[in-house]
Amino acid sequence: MDRRSRLLARLFAVSGVLLVPWIWVLIEQLHGQAGKRSFDSSWVGLDVLEAVCLLTVARLVSRGHRLTSPVAAATAAVLCMDAWFDTWSAAPQLPYAEALAMAWFVELPLAALLAWTAWRALEWAAPRADGGPPASVTGRSPEQQEPMSRY
């Protein structure tokens, strides 16, 4: 695994782990309402989904698995959805400013990085043009592979 992949795997893993205390804060803010069917308790489920997705992407990236691309793309979509609903459902003034800050400085940049990872993973997970196995199977990054013939 190259340096970039190790860094991405660590970043996604740390992001997923950091969501756990945030989920606990959300549960505490609900003051026992988490069992009720309410709009507020759905945020806890969404953040649990985000944490699981981020940890899954971290694991897939670290293994160079071919499922990295679709899982990273789905995780990016979930983060964008969370940013959208956080900002549009936030109360005016400080909660809205907090939601905007989280969207612009955390969720959307992380979603962009996940989308880039999904795109990049297509290169090393796809079969090679010469019919050989994908780079994820050979354990070599695209830069380490032999040049492909055009004919």
Q: What are the average pLDDT values for consecutive 10-residue runs of the chain, which has 151 residues?
A: 85 93 83 60 86 96 91 96 89 90 94 94 66 52 44 27
Is 142 part of a structural domain of the chain? no
**Could you give the number of structural domains in the chain?**
1
Q: Does residue 59 form part of some domain?
A: yes
d(CA 57, CA 3): 16
Q: Is residue 150 part of a domain?
A: no
pLDDT at 29: 78
Q: Is residue 132 part of a domain?
A: no
Confirm whether 141 is domain-assigned: no
Flag whether 60 is in a domain.
Answer: yes
pLDDT of 90 reads 83
Residue 99 falls inside a structural domain? yes
- What pTM value is reported for the model? 0.76
State the residue range of the domain holding 120: 3-127
CA-closest candidate to residue 57, choices 24, 85, 21, 17: 17
